[in-house]
């Protein structure tokens, strides 16, 4: 399953990328994030791995992030592996004007196991909706400086 989500943020690309590139900010725009723990490599650099733990409506979920491309301020890509799901995300940060930036996130999900394949087939909108929720929360965080509500 593949889809693209995007938001236009009222801030310069430098400001957007600085906020995106700081792991301390994750909790401000990823509602449900419980922890972000580097596990190998140099954090933020290609090849680095980190463990992210989430509370998704009372259900605990853990995923491993692997950074596959870092060409900031233009692009940043990674993979996210959770139980039965491999997610590839390609992020682009495009200046729209002096104080506007478009964040485009191309997502590809590869499902393993019967149940995850069925879920991906039955509920593709849920994955897109969650991705867009994070982009919109990030936009609000950058524009207002206030954390997203859970």
The residues spanned by each domain of the chain are 2-144
Which residues of the chain are under the pLDDT cut of 50?
A: none
Chain segment 34-44, per-residue pLDDT in tens: 999 999 999 99
Q: What is the CATH number of domain 2-144?
A: 3.30.530.20
Cα dist from 115 to 25, 123, 131, whole Å = 33, 12, 21
Please state, in angstroms and rounded to a whole number, the distance separating the CA atoms of residues 148 and 137.
5
- The pLDDT assigned to 147 comes to 83
> What distance in Å separates the CA atoms of residue 142 and residue 126, rounded to the nearest whole number?
25
- Classified as helix, coil or strand, 28 is helix
Bond from prior residue into 73 cis (ω within 30 degrees of 0)? yes
Say what the pLDDT of residue 1 is: 84
pLDDT at 120: 53
Strand partners, 3: 107
Any idea of the CA torsion for 116, 23, 76, 103, to the nearest 10 degrees? 90
What is the per-residue pLDDT for 124? 58
Distances (CA, A) of 96 to 11, 12, 139: 10, 9, 14
pLDDT of residue 117: 52
C-alpha–C-alpha distance, residues 85 and 25, integer Å:
25
Is residue 103 within 8 A of residue 7, CB to CB? The reply is: yes
What is the per-residue pLDDT for 85? 84
Element of type H or E holding 122: helix 114-122
* Confidence (pTM): 0.88
d(CA 65, CA 78): 7
pLDDT at residue 34, as a whole number: 93
């Amino acid at each position: 399953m593949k889809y693209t989500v995007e938001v236009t943020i009222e801030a310069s690309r430098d400001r957007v990328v600085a906020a995106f590139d700081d792991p301390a900010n994750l909790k401000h725009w990823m509602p449900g994030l419980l922890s972000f723990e580097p596990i190998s490599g140099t954090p933020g650099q290609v090849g680095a791995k980190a463990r992210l733990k989430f509370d998704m409506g009372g259900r605990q979920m853990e995923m491993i992030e692997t950074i596959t491309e870092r060409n900031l301020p233009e692009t940043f890509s990674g993979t996210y592996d959770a139980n039965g799901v491999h997610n590839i995300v390609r992020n682009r940060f495009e200046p729209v004007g002096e104080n506007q930036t478009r964040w485009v996130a191309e997502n590809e999900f590869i499902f393993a196991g019967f149940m995850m394949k069925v879920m991906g087939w039955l509920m593709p909108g849920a994955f897109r909706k969650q991705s867009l929720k994070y982009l919109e929360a990030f936009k609000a965080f950058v524009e207002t400086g206030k954390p997203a509500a859970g």
